[in-house]
Structures are given as structure tokens and as C-alpha cells.
Copies of this chain bind each other. A is one copy, B any other.
Amino acid sequence: MTSTLSRPAVNDQHRTTLAPLTVPERLLLGPGPSNADPVVIAAMNRQPIGHLDPAYLAMMDEVQELLRYTWQTSNTLTYPIAGTGSAAMEATLANVVEPGDRVLIGVKGYFGNRLVDMATRYGADVRTMHRPWGEVFSLDDIRAALAEHRPAVLALVHAETSTGARQPFEGVGDLCREFDCLLIADTVTSLGGVPIFLDDWKVDLAYSCSQKGLSCPPGISPFTMGPRAVEKLQRRQSKVANWYLDADLLRKYWGSDRVYHHTAPVNLTYALREALRLLAEEGLEARWQRHQQTAETFWEGLADLGLKCHVEKEHRLPTLTTVCVPEGVDAKAVNRLLLSEHNIEIGGGLGELAGKVWRVGLMGANSHPDRVETLLTALDRVIHQVRAA
């Protein structure tokens, strides 16, 4: 063997000896990940195949087509990003923002602020409009901000994972056409659980994740880009300032050219394909209705326990509910006990709502009355325990 003798000795300082993996079984009722459908988990339990294997290419087409159905779009450029939801979020901005472009962002929660941070990194002239966390923008708010800032891009969060509020999108796309700007929609906590009509709403770019409404493990994240956004991409003076997320390179892999870009997360594609197959089997109408009914059952149960929701019912997401922490209750202690004694994960408040709310997700396979009952029973018990402590 070449140069064995001149090699240093292997250092065993970091050579930990581990037992085979064990993982606790949790009921994941936080903001995500949610539990995946068991069929989806089982789909990953096989060997990878090559990312240019004909069988894999066929699977890519299936995933693209069913993502179009799920988003209700006919966008050619509809494919999953090989990363988690924040990568797909960044992909929307990276592809259409050039240095100096004015980007208007609706901030009404944590993920609005994340969009601000990201857009700044791409050299955007970032402008913001604000609503209190838990509320939404009206069409009048949006019209006024568009008139004031005249942005090239408007980014709005459809389902604010930090607040549980659903931003209405009806009419927003028309306003964006009137003001000649692109519209980006964050559908991370809505895709597969909340009605979305991307083409009807005239949304130009959207992103989501796998581990919420789609009931798939995290790590692969839907992205879509319509013709007006593609046109801006083609008019760019500068290369996309992000190689991994460059839609011009990615469409050569996802399109008929099949030009190698990156090694796809093959097993996660298996999972996503199965998650989307199950979704198409159930149908969007039935799925949305299931999520709405489960949520309403939960909200009624909360009221019976004397617990309040942070968001007005009209704008409440069925996928994610922010529950107000009652006066005098240690929110984190409740989270800890739910996890340690009941194996149930719910989320704490994020940003401005830290300590003030819990975040409960009832998404995908977890959108089910059984889960609601399990959670309400445990939550009631644990809150009493914490009050008594």
C-alpha cells in the first residue's frame, strides 16, 4: 500500500463506542416534524438507486406531477429541493432577487423575519409591512404597501408557523400584477392541509416542506416557480448567487435534459413519492376537510378545558393552533412533562410569542380525532400538575 509507512497513526480520541440506535416513540404534535404516515416510512426502507437511473427519473416525473396537483398549479418548474423547508424558502428569493431589487415582505411572525434576513443576504432593498403576530394583512394593507414601495417582489407567508394565522391570498396576485411585481408564498405549514390554489391566486413562486401536511420525514422540500418568475430569472444580469439552489441548473436536471446537478436524496424521494400518492388517493377536498374538522374538534376541546386560542377563528390555521398559556402556568414545564411522561411533543412559542403560547400541529397522518383526544387528556393532566407544583 502506498505511503502507509509515512502516515501518522490514527488518533482514537473521538472514536466513541455507541450502542445500536434506539429512538423514543413520540407523538409529534408540535409545529413539525409531524409523524409520517407508516406507509411513507416503509418506503424509505430499501436501498437507494442511482439519481440518473431510469426508474429514478420516472419517479421524479411522478413527484413533480403530484406536487402540481397538491399546489393546484401547472408550473413546469415544480420540484423538491434537496434540503429542508428553509432551503426551499431561500431558493425562491435567490432565483428572482438581484442586488438592488426592491423586495417587500409582510412580517406578521417569525418566518416573515426570516425572509427579511434571507433577502438582505441577496442584496435586496428590503422593505417591510407589519401586523401584530397572530393577525393578517388585508387587501387594503397590501395595496397601500405596494403603492408606497413599488417592489419587484412581494413575499407573504400563507401559514405563519410561529402564530398559527392564515393569510388570505384571494386577490393578492391580481394586486401584484397591477403593480408589476412577483408574488412569493410561504406554504410550509399549509401544503397538503389547507386549501391552496396557486395558479388561481396568481402566485409566482412558492415553497413548502415535507414533514407537515404531507406526512413525510423532513429533508426534501417542494419548490415551484411560474412563467413570470422564470422570465425574471432569464433576464438576470448576474448569475444566481447560490449554486445549489440555482433554478436554471436544477431545471436541466428536472427537465428532459437530465443534466447531473447534485446527488439526489434518493430515499427521501421514495418517501415523498409515497406521501404524494397517498394524498392524491385521499383527494385534496377530503384532506382539507379532514384537517378542518380535526382542528375544530381540538378547538372545542380546548374551550372545554378553559383554554383559549391566540388567533381569531376566521384566520386560524387548521394545521397549527397557537394555544394561550394560562396565567401563572410555566409553559416550558408543560412541554417537558408532556414529552417525558406522555411522549407527546408540542411546540413552545417562538420569537414574540415565546412563553405566551404553545404551538399544536395536527397535520397529515396526525390530523385525526384520536390524536386530539390523546393530547387534550394529557394536556389537562399536565397543566394541573404544573399548577400544583
Contacts and interface: CB of A to CB of B under 8 A. Distances in A.
Interface in A7-62: 7-8, 10-18, 20-21, 23-26, 28, 30, 32-33, 35-36, 39, 41-51, 53-55, 59, 62
Contacts of A39: 20
Q: Is the interface of A mostly helix, strand, loop or mixed?
A: loop
A84 B87 contact: no
A307 interface: no
Given A209-B263, A274-B21, A33 B48 contact: yes
Contacts of A270: 21, 23
Interface string A266-298: 111010011001001101110001001000000
B72 A11 contact: yes
Copies in the complex: 2
A50 B23 contact: no
Interface stretch (A101-109, A239-247, A378-386): A239-247
Given A260-B350, A265-B218, A46 B41 contact: yes
Contacts of A262: 83-87
A237 interface: no
Contact of A42 (B14, B18, B45, B87): B45
Contacts of A33: 48-51, 263, 266
Contact of A197 (B8, B15, B25, B51): B8
A142 to B, nearest CB: 18
Interface in A333-354: 339, 345, 350
21 contacts: A1-B289, A10-B283, A10-B285, A12-B69, A14-B66, A14-B69, A18-B277, A21-B273, A26-B47, A26-B49, A26-B50, A41-B47, A54-B339, A82-B219, A84-B262, A84-B263, A84-B264, A87-B87, A217-B265, A219-B265, A219-B268
A71 to B, nearest CB: 9
Contacts of A277: 18, 20-21
Closest 7 CB pairs of A and B: A219-B265, A14-B69, A14-B68, A45-B45, A83-B83, A217-B267, A86-B262
Interface string A77-116: 0000011111100100000000000000000000000100
Interface string A290-320: 0010000000000000000000001000000
Nearest to A249: B117
Interface residues on A, range: 35 or more
Contacts of A90: 242-244
A369 interface: no
Interface of A: 1-2, 6-8, 10-18, 20-21, 23-26, 28, 30, 32-33, 35-36, 39, 41-51, 53-55, 59, 62, 65-66, 68-69, 72, 74, 82-87, 90, 114, 117-118, 120-122, 170, 195, 197, 200, 209, 211, 217-220, 239-244, 260-268, 270, 273-274, 277, 280-281, 283-285, 289, 292, 314, 339, 345, 350
Query: Which residue, of A17, A30, A44, has the highest number of chain B Cβ atoms within 10 A?
Result: A44
Given A36-B48, A218-B265, A262-B86, A239 B23 contact: no
Given A14-B66, A53-B345, 8 more contacts: A7-B195, A13-B69, A15-B283, A18-B66, A86-B261, A121-B239, A218-B266, A219-B268
